[in-house]
Structure formats: C-alpha cells, structure tokens
C-alpha cells in the first residue's frame, strides 16, 4: 500500500449555535441583522424547536419543506420515489429561480447533497434541511448572485425508513451506500435517477462515524473518490474540495478535521492505520467519480468525548449539526470560487469515454495500486448479453444511463464507447468483484 496521508487538525473550541453558511466566504445565507426582517417567522425544524433534544420527524420534515416551498420561488420539492414502507423520497431543487426541469440545471455549476443514507446518522440531514431554508430566505445580494449561477439539489432524507427506525440500513436492512452499482433498493434507484437526469457536477454525501480515541476522533472527516477509474481532473478537484475548502472551513469554526478511514498519531498527526476508505465502486463517492462528478464523503463524530457533551446530549447534537454546517460552508465557498475548474474537470471526464481509450481498473484505489489481473489494459469494445442476461440487468442499465443496443436474438450489445465507459465493465465483466452478469467480451 502506498504511504498514507492525513490532514492535520487544529482550531479552537466551537460555539454551540448553528453558524450561518457563506457564499464564497463573503456573505451569510441566513438572514442577518443587516437583512430586511421577514414578515413571517421562518419555518423551523423539530430539531431546532427542541434545541437539539430530538431529531426532526418525517412528518415535521414534510411540513417544513412544504412551508419553505410555498414561501419562496427559489425552492421546488418533488417526490422521486417511495421506500419499501411507502415513505416518500424527495428531491429539493434550489436556484434563482428554482430549476423547473433537469435541462434548467446549471451545467458546470450544480451540486447534489445526499443526506442520511444511513438512517442512524441524522446530523447531516438537519444541516441540509436548515440550509434549504436559509438559501430560500436569504435576501443579501451575494446569495442571490450565487443562486443565479448555481443549482443546488438536495435529497434531505435518503433513507426515510432507516431514519424512522434509527437504523443504518433501510427497511430490508440493506446498506444503501453499498448499492450504487446494483441498484437493488428503491433509495439507490432514486439517487441513480438524479445522477442520470441532472448530471450534478459535485456530489456531497453527509454521514456520521463512531470514533476511536485518541487516534481517530476528529470532529469532521472527509474523503474523495478513491476508485482508480475516476478521471484525474475530477480526482484532483475532489481532493482540493476536501483539503483546501471543507477541512479549513471546519477548522475556522473550531472543529478538528482529518481524512476518513485514516487513524493518526495523536502527537505527530502522522498516519498509523487505514481502517476504511477503499475504492469500492458501490459507494456513492466512488460511483460519483466514475460517472464524472466530483465527490466527497463527509463524516461528523457521533459519540461525545467531552464530559459536558456526555452530560448534555442536546448540546452535543447541536455540535454535530454545527460541524456539518461548517463543512457545507466550505463546499459553497468551493463552488463559488472554482466554477471554471469544476466545469472543465467534469466535462473532460464525461467526454473521455467517447474516445474509448485507456485501461479500466477492476480493483485498487488511489492509495492502493491494483494487482495486474485487476486491470483491463485492453478492454473489449463491447459486452454481449444474451436475452436472459439482458432481462436481468436492463432496468439497472437504464437507471444508470448506460447505452446499449438490442441484437436480433433478443440479447444486447453494450459498447464501451460512451460517457459511462468505465462503469460498463464494473457491471458486466466476470472479473469485476461486484458484476451483475458475466457478459461476453466482444471486439466488434
């Protein structure tokens, strides 16, 4: 394994109040003393009304988003699916005005927030909900300018059944964040449809983790796409989002930071152990990178370490949400300052597959070179599927946006010459660790 790197942590103790996000580090999203007073009180989440004593319920989320949507033309709320237990999966579209269709989403300037894929990790969801409201209600010129140029997409609760049960998995106990290849769950299918239809340039995935003191106990950890099929410009921009924007924003707010999955020496900050963070293609941050989007996983510490926080769970809950909001501040600063870089990186990644050149990796990560037999140095030009195989994977190919053509015998040919070139072998090559069917390689 290649040498590990970790972000050092520093910073003061944070305040307990939820900080206002800022556009490009210059102006607050939330209304401030200098902003005109709203004629009606802003909608508040259940988390806010309880001062952090409990998390926002599903019914409260429904009412909250409806109120925000009614009050602002910047926000549209749509149902994009239903869970196994019938709960709605929602997509919130934000802009100035809110994009009416996928075609209206800003190319090069769009971001997708995925909140609470794991139902027992609620802090990111609370940060997403209040961010939706703050973007909708802000009256400062900087926010209006930002939203005229940027489309913000939010899935506020990606796992409603798991959130209701306070479980990591969904109603079937499936980890949604290991289902972004096979799309066996309604939750993953809904997210895949958003990726396919809206082509967000940045995918920001909010989670929480359990620390191991003293080597793995930072307030906020982040990690970029490590799958080796991620285009180099997308990989570089994603690591910059983590290293140069999200982590510094969290530190400025008084939170400690690090790289997800990397234990560090508490004195020197040197990496000592890797416990997570591989390049597995089923994980959303990696799937996003393979599909040509910048990706970032963000994890806040879900277990209190200080005595005051153990004695006052609501205080600690507010701290968790504040850390997520600090990370979001860094994300929006990145979007405001790096538009050209983001657009160039994603455009290059999404057109590279049309050239149909270069290897495809079936394993490894950016810090772990794959074995030789895990690299398709000369991939086939296509994979042939018989009729039975096509029947098994047709819906998945369609959900991902993979192109294929039907053959005369009822099967299909799936070419590699397409935008999602690297995804095709991961789905159809028998050597890929999570392939769905073993297609027949073809050079015709």
**What tens-digit pLDDT sequence spans the chain (444 residues)?**
333 333 333 333 333 223 345 443 333 333 334 445 546 889 999 999 999 999 999 999 999 999 999 999 999 999 999 999 999 999 999 999 999 889 888 877 899 999 999 999 999 999 999 999 999 999 999 999 999 999 999 999 999 999 999 999 999 999 999 999 999 999 999 999 999 999 999 999 999 999 999 999 999 999 999 999 999 999 999 999 999 999 999 999 999 999 999 999 999 999 999 988 799 999 999 999 999 999 999 999 999 988 999 999 999 999 999 999 999 999 999 999 999 999 999 999 999 999 999 999 999 999 999 999 999 999 999 999 999 999 999 999 999 999 999 999 999 999 999 999 999 999 999 999 999 999 999 998
At the fourth CATH level, which superfamily is domain 22-349? Zn peptidases (3.40.630.10)
- Sequence ranges of the chain with CATH classification 3.40.630.10: 22-349
**What is the reported pLDDT for 22?**
46
Nearest to 61 by CA among 40, 74, 73, 79: 79
- Kindly report whether the global pTM for this prediction surpasses the value 0.85: yes
C-alpha 208/C-alpha 119 separation (Å) is 10
- CA 155 to the chain's CA centroid: 10
In Å, how far are 89, 98, 107, 434 from 104, measured between CA atoms?
21, 9, 9, 35
The CA angle 155-158-163, to the nearest 5 degrees, is: 130
Counting every residue, how long is the chain?
444
Record the tokens describing residue 310, joined without a space.
Answer: 């153990």
Q: Is the dihedral of CA 291, 245, 144, 322 positive or negative?
A: positive
For residue range 79-120, what is the model confidence (pLDDT) as tens digits? 999 999 999 999 999 999 999 889 888 877 899 999 999 999
Beta carbons of 112 and 91 less than 8 angstroms apart: no
Confirm if 425 and 379 have CB atoms less than 8 A apart.
yes
CA–CA gap between residue 78 and residue 267 (Å, rounded): 48
């Amino acid at each position: 394994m290649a040498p590990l790197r970790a972000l050092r942590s520093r910073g003061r103790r944070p305040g307990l109040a939820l900080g206002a996000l800022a556009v490009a580090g210059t102006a607050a999203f939330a209304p401030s003393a200098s902003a005109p007073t709203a004629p009606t009180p802003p909608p508040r989440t259940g988390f806010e009304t309880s001062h952090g004593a409990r998390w926002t319920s599903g019914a409260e989320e429904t009412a909250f988003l409806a109120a925000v949507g009614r009050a602002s033309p910047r926000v549209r709320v749509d149902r994009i699916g239903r869970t196994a237990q019938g709960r709605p999966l929602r997509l919130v579209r934000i802009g100035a005005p809110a994009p009416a269709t996928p075609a209206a989403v800003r190319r090069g300037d769009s971001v997708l927030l995925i909140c609470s894929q794991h139902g027992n990790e609620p802090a990111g969801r609370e940060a997403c909900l209040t961010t939706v409201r703050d973007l909708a209600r802000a009256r400062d010129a900087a926010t209006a300018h930002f939203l005229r140029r940027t489309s913000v997409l939010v899935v506020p609760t990606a796992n409603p059944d798991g959130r209701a049960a306070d479980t990591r998995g969904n109603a079937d106990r499936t980890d949604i964040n290991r289902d972004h290849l096979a799309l066996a769950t309604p939750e993953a299918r809904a997210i895949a449809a958003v990726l396919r239809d809206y082509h967000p340039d940045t995918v920001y995935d909010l989670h929480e983790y359990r620390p191991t003191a003293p080597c793995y106990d930072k307030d906020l950890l982040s990690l970029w796409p490590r799958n080796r099929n991620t285009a180099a410009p997308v990989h570089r921009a994603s690591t910059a989002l983590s290293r140069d924007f999200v982590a510094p924003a969290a530190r400025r707010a008084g939170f400690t930071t690090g790289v997800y999955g990397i234990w560090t020496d508490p004195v020197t900050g040197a990496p000592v152990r890797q416990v997570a963070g591989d390049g597995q293609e089923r994980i959303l941050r990696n799937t996003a990178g393979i599909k040509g989007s910048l990706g970032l996983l963000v994890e806040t510490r879900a277990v209190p370490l200080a005595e005051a926080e153990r004695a006052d769970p609501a205080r600690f809950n507010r701290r968790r949400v504040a850390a997520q909001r600090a990370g979001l501040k860094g994300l929006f600063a990145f979007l405001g300052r790096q538009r050209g870089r983001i657009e160039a990186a994603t455009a290059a990644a999404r057109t590279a597959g049309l050239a149909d050149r270069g290897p495809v990796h079936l394993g490894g990560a950016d810090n772990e070179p794959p074995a030789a037999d895990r690299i398709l140095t000369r991939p086939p030009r296509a994979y042939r599927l018989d009729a039975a195989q096509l029947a098994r994977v047709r819906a998945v190919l369609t959900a991902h946006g993979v192109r294929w053509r039907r053959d005369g015998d009822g099967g299909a040919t799936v070419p590699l010459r397409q935008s999602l070139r690297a995804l095709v072998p991961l789905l159809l090559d028998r050597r890929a660790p999570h392939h769905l069917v073993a297609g027949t390689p073809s050079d015709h």
